[in-house]
């Protein structure tokens, strides 16, 4: 009885996933699923997008390019975090998580304030800008504000 309990709580580098009533290595499950996804994506790409290369060669190259990201995506979706060596028990309570939460809250307020000021300026001056350009600016603003606030919180060591 204690052997089965210790095997379910054993931590490994790549982790395990619950499969039925047992546990399997996560990569053993993620690899074939990622391979099927890569082949399906490559066939769709070769069929509908095409390119200067013959379709079989194009599909082979495309599937080789997306294989690893697909496997990692499936792995991230199926992994049982409690089986990963070095994983925190409660990551939401980590100092880094608190720094991020603080940075995101501040960046949200920065984004609203600066976007409001920019909108007021554009309305008063009658300037028209492209929507894609405006939304790109908002995303860059939010990213920079979050990054700067996170770096400041980390350098101060506040939690």
Burial 52-70 (b: 16+ CB within 10 A, else e): eeeeeebbeebbeebbeeb
Q: With a cut of 80, say whether residue 134 has pLDDT above it.
A: yes
Q: Which residue from 85, 91, 92, 103 is spatially nearest to 153, judged by alpha carbons?
A: 103
Rounded to an integer, the average pLDDT of 69-86 is: 81
User: Torsions phi, psi of 68, nearest 5?
Assistant: -65, -45
Judged by average pLDDT, the poorest of 54-58, 114-118, 121-125, 143-147 is: 54-58
pLDDT in tens, 19-74: 666 677 778 888 999 999 999 999 998 888 877 888 889 889 999 999 999 999 99
Q: Mean pLDDT across the chain, nearest whole number?
A: 84
pLDDT at 50: 76
First to last CA, the chain: 42
Distance, CA of 102 to CA of 96 (rounded, Å): 10
């Amino acid at each position: 009885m204690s052997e089965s309990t210790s095997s379910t709580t054993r931590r490994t580098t790549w982790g395990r996933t619950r499969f039925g009533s047992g546990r399997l290595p996560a990569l053993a499950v993620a690899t074939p699923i990622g391979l099927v996804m890569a082949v399906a994506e490559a066939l769709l790409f070769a069929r509908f997008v095409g390119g200067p290369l013959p379709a079989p060669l194009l599909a082979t190259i495309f599937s080789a390019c997306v294989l690893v990201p697909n496997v990692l995506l499936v792995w991230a979706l199926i992994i049982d975090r409690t089986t990963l060596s070095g994983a925190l028990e409660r990551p939401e309570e980590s100092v880094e998580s608190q720094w991020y939460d603080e940075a995101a809250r501040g960046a949200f307020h920065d984004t609203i304030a600066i976007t409001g000021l920019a909108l007021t300026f554009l309305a008063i001056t009658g300037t028209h800008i492209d929507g894609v350009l405006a939304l790109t600016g908002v995303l860059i603003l939010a990213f920079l504000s979050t990054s700067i606030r996170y770096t400041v919180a980390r350098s101060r060591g506040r939690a």
